[in-house]
Each structure stands twice: as C-alpha cells, then as structure tokens.
C-alpha cells in the first residue's frame, strides 16, 4: 500500500514539461457524457475549486480534521465595519496558507457591500505548477437568515 501511495504522489502527467497534474472530483457532481461517471477537475480548475471549498468550510465540517476551515460564516453576523472586512480577509489568508500547498497566495480583498449586506471576496494566487499566470477566485459571502 505504501508503494502505491508513493507512486500516486510522484506520478507525472503526459505533458512535455513533465509537471505534476492536479486532479480532484467535481463536487457539483456533473456527469461525463460518455460514461455517466462523476467528472474530474484537473490542474487550474481543481486548485480554484479547492481554494473555494476551503474558504467556505467551517471548522468541524471535515471528518477527522476539525482544525481545517476558515470560520468566516460566523463573521457574517457581525456588524459590517472595515475591521470585520480585514478579519475576514485574514481568516481566508490563514486557511489558504496553512491548508492549500498548491497555491501561493498573493492577496485577499474583502469588500463590504452595505446595501446587500454581503462581502465580495477577491482571492489572487499563483499555482505552483503555473507560476507565470495569476489566478483569481471571486466569492460572494452573504448570510442566509
């Protein structure tokens, strides 16, 4: 079993540059048209989806890893002040730096939208295999109740 895990961890994709290819399952469960199986996300899309999932995850949501999560949902019920926006951005930075090794974070901007009672998050990062292109993930945070 250890040998299989080592082979999986060191496997390479078929590109001429021989870089690692990141792969994750599509958690929206879209189907492949040919096999009706769950679609796989690869490379840039896989890392973007992982960053989004980390940001939206609360503590104790991941089984056997209660420490993983950003905890920003609880901040949505605080008063909308510039300090709250800074705290949300700091929590997002911490969770990405600690739990997503495939992303080199550039910056996080949390912009409060007072009229709609929401925050707009803009997350910019480089992917380890693609250091020449900056990637952005935009997330709208709003409370439901």
Which residues share a beta bridge with 121? 110, 139
Max intra-chain CA distance, the chain: 56
Contacts with 52 (C-beta within 8 Å, 6 or more apart), sequence order = 137, 139
Domains and CATH numbers, the chain: 20-142 (3.10.450.40)
Stated pTM of the model: 0.75
What would the pLDDT profile of 1-47 be if each residue is shown by its tens digit? 344 333 433 333 344 554 566 666 665 557 667 777 666 666 788 88
């Amino acid at each position: 079993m250890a040998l299989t895990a080592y082979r999986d961890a060191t496997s390479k994709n078929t590109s001429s540059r021989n870089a690692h290819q990141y792969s994750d399952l599509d958690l929206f469960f879209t189907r492949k048209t040919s096999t009706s199986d769950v679609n796989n996300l690869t490379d840039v899309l896989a890392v973007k989806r992982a960053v989004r999932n980390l940001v939206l995850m609360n503590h104790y949501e991941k089984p056997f890893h209660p420490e993983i999560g950003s905890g920003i949902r609880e901040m949505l019920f605080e008063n909308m002040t510039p300090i709250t926006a800074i705290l949300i951005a700091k929590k997002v930075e911490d969770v990405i730096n600690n739990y997503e090794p495939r992303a080199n974070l550039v910056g996080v901007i949390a912009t409060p939208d007072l009229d709609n009672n929401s925050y707009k998050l803009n997350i910019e990062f480089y992917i380890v295999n693609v250091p020449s292109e900056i990637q952005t993930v935009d997330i709208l945070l709003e409370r439901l109740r």
